[in-house]
Amino acid sequence: MTDLNKVTITGQHFINGTWTSEATDFNSINPVTNEALPYRFANASQSIVESAVVSAKQAFIKYRGITAESRAAFLEAIADEIQADIEAITQTAHLETGLPMARLQGETGRTCGQLRLFAGNLRNPIDSRYVDLANAERQPLPKPDTRLTTLPLGPVAVFGASNFPLAFSTAGGDTASALAAGCTIVVKGHPAHAATSELVSGAIERAALKCDMPAGVFNLIQGSSPEVSTQLVTSTVIKAVGFTGSLKVGRILSDLCAARPEPIPFYGELGSTNPQFILSHILEEQAESLASTQVQSMLMGHGQFCTSPGVIVAIKGNALNRYKATLAEDIAPQSAASMLSAGIASTYQSQIELLLNNSQVELIAQGESSPANHFTRPTALKVTATDFINSTEIQQEVFGPCAVLVECDDEAQMQLIAEQLEGQLTASIHGLDCELIANQDLIEAIAFNVGRLIFNQMPTGVEVCHSMNHGGPYPASTDSRTTSVGSAAMARFERPICYQNMPKTLLPQRVIEGETGVKSF
Ligand code: NAP
């Protein structure tokens, strides 16, 4: 254990390789005790936001020309530096988020794994290069030499997520993939874990010095006011944004990006109810174990995962009654717990209250109550398929340990729900092999509304690997063509460029004819 009294948190922003202070405005809060921690931070002023983007712009001119091997070494050095400071980082994140130490240690491993995955990609790039050789003899017109490759977009703004203080924050997937692509970064730290952001930024600073990266390759600004975020995404210097958070804020920032004189891509990962479709035969055979697995999954991280299973769809009957009985049995003894922030807890409480006051919704079970009014109770609710289909309020994501069971009269109603689903990050289908084969229309309908279709498994736990897709049709994400996890995440921060008739001596090495992996035609 590290003695946190000996770990200095300065509350400063990190700009152009230098820590910069301003008069402080806010503390980070321990969400378990609901008391202020002794760490104070400043809301970045307009001039600080401006210096951060200018620093990223100047660094981009150098960083974009750095070799893939040097970028890979930089990403690996960041992982090493985070690992070297793992105790202070995870203990601080534990204080600021209330997440268990084991989860935070796992998340650190995942963060470093992502950084190393992108380093590996740089050394063995996924092949998106094409070469069409010139043909002077072609009739009726000669064919020019054209070569397709990519360029980094430019400085990228990254918003740290409240629910992943490491893997989706300062050195998380957005930062790692944008640095891998050759972009420079301005991170807007999440105010709920600003001290963790500062420690991780320190690790990036040490890695940048070790690898001789340009000052300004990475910048951190702190803030807890919308003006900081607004100024950042509307800065003409910023060429793309990575965001994980609420639909409401994601939409505000996405609209700002689209309305700029020069619109820029906004990659928002905004959440999902991750429906669980349970087919009849498997329900008959495994009602109790399916219900217990549902409860375990929806309680992971007290439900604060974008992949938490918040909706269950099944057909009424005896087997579903057995499922509900186990759901109630497993949920009732669960303790109330704090959430990532008092704001998130209060949003959860008001959404649950609204649903409980809705005459179409029935309570199946709630976990134990707590005298601490910022603690929230796990909750399972039920509703008919017709009421679910007709109510956008009931269909909405409740971020936290809540699930709504949708009781269908028959398969036709289940199919209708699948067809009318809003865009989701994931959905699961639980079925025996024989019934999966018999339900291909249902599978197809769900597939068109999700980014990841899961068979007989729960959605929590997103594998970091080449073939992962973590995205989905709106409102799960703002661009269903991209992923925020896995190798393909890097493509979000690159754009294509075609070099026509470029002298060979000037061509980038990547697209030189004969280079391994280049597709020639
Ligand atoms: P949030 O409210 O969406 O905030 C995310 C970021 O946006 C913060 O850095 C925040 O910074 C900034 N922001 C907030 N209001 C803004 C505004 N009006 N204009 C511009 N920027 C603004 O997310 P959160 O605080 O992490 O959690 C709140 C809710 O988000 C949760 O209850 C949950 O529903 C959802 N959520 C979803 C996911 C997911 O996986 N998709 C993850 C986490 C949270 P400032 O405070 O400095 O303004």
Sign of CA dihedral 242, 245, 249, 252: positive
Q: Are residues 130 and 172 in the same domain?
A: yes
Give the model's confidence band at 511: pLDDT under 50 very low, under 70 low, under 90 confident, else very high: confident
- Is 268 close to ligand 1, i.e. is its CB under 6 Å away? no
Q: Give the residue, by CA position, lying nearest to ligand 1 atom 32.
A: 344
For residue 416, the domain's CATH number is 3.40.309.10
In this predicted structure, what is the pLDDT of residue 517?
A: 57
Mean per-residue pLDDT, 426-434: 98
Q: Which numbered atom of ligand 1 lies nearest the CA of 224?
A: 47
For residue 477, give the DSSP letter: B
Q: Are residues 264 and 291 in the same domain?
A: no
**What is the tally of structural domains in the chain?**
2
- Is 97 close to ligand 1, i.e. is its CB under 6 Å away? no
Ligand 1 centroid to residue 495 C-alpha, Å: 28
Q: Are residues 294 and 350 in the same domain?
A: yes
Residue 487 lies in a domain: yes
Q: Are residues 306 and 254 in the same domain?
A: no
Q: Are residues 503 and 442 in the same domain?
A: no
- Is 306 close to ligand 1, i.e. is its CB under 6 Å away? yes
Q: Are residues 247 and 122 in the same domain?
A: yes
Structural domain containing residue 429: 276-455
What gap in Å lies between CA 131 and CA 510, rounded to an integer? 10
Q: Which numbered atom of ligand 1 lies nearest the CA of 399?
A: 34
Residue 185 lies in a domain: yes
- Is 245 close to ligand 1, i.e. is its CB under 6 Å away? yes
Contact by Cβ (8 Å): 308, 274:
yes
pLDDT digits (tens, 9 = 90+) for 436-457: 999 999 999 999 999 999 999 9
In this predicted structure, what is the pLDDT of residue 5?
A: 80
Average pLDDT, the chain: 95
Q: Are residues 365 and 224 in the same domain?
A: no
- Is 342 close to ligand 1, i.e. is its CB under 6 Å away? no
Contact by Cβ (8 Å): 45, 172:
no
**SS3 assignment, position 128:** coil
Residue 171 lies in a domain: yes
| Catalytic annotation present for 498 | no
Q: Are residues 265 and 291 in the same domain?
A: no
Q: Are residues 409 and 492 in the same domain?
A: no
Q: Cβ atoms within 10 A of the Cβ of 501, count?
A: 9
Q: Are residues 352 and 394 in the same domain?
A: yes
Mean per-residue pLDDT, 186-190: 98
Ligand 1 centroid to residue 257 C-alpha, Å: 16
Give the model's confidence band at 44: pLDDT under 50 very low, under 70 low, under 90 confident, else very high: very high
Ligand 1 centroid to residue 245 C-alpha, Å: 5
- Is 246 close to ligand 1, i.e. is its CB under 6 Å away? yes
Residue 18 lies in a domain: yes
Residue 85 lies in a domain: yes
Q: Which numbered atom of ligand 1 lies nearest the CA of 249?
A: 3
Residue 516 lies in a domain: no
Residue 338 lies in a domain: yes
Q: What is the 3-state secondary structure (H, E, C) of 145-201?
A: CEEEEEEECCCEEEECCCCCCCCCCCCCHHHHHHHHHCCCEEEECCHHHHHHHHHHH
Residue 342 lies in a domain: yes
- Is 205 close to ligand 1, i.e. is its CB under 6 Å away? no
Ligand 1 centroid to residue 501 C-alpha, Å: 47
Mean per-residue pLDDT, 66-91: 97
| Catalytic annotation present for 306 | yes
Task: Indicate whether 486 pLDDT > 80.
Answer: yes
Q: Which numbered atom of ligand 1 lies nearest the CA of 160?
A: 9
Q: Are residues 241 and 320 in the same domain?
A: no
For residue 162, the domain's CATH number is 3.40.605.10
pLDDT digits (tens, 9 = 90+) for 280-317: 999 999 999 999 999 999 999 999 999 999 999 999 99
Ligand 1 centroid to residue 267 C-alpha, Å: 14
Q: Are residues 497 and 418 in the same domain?
A: no
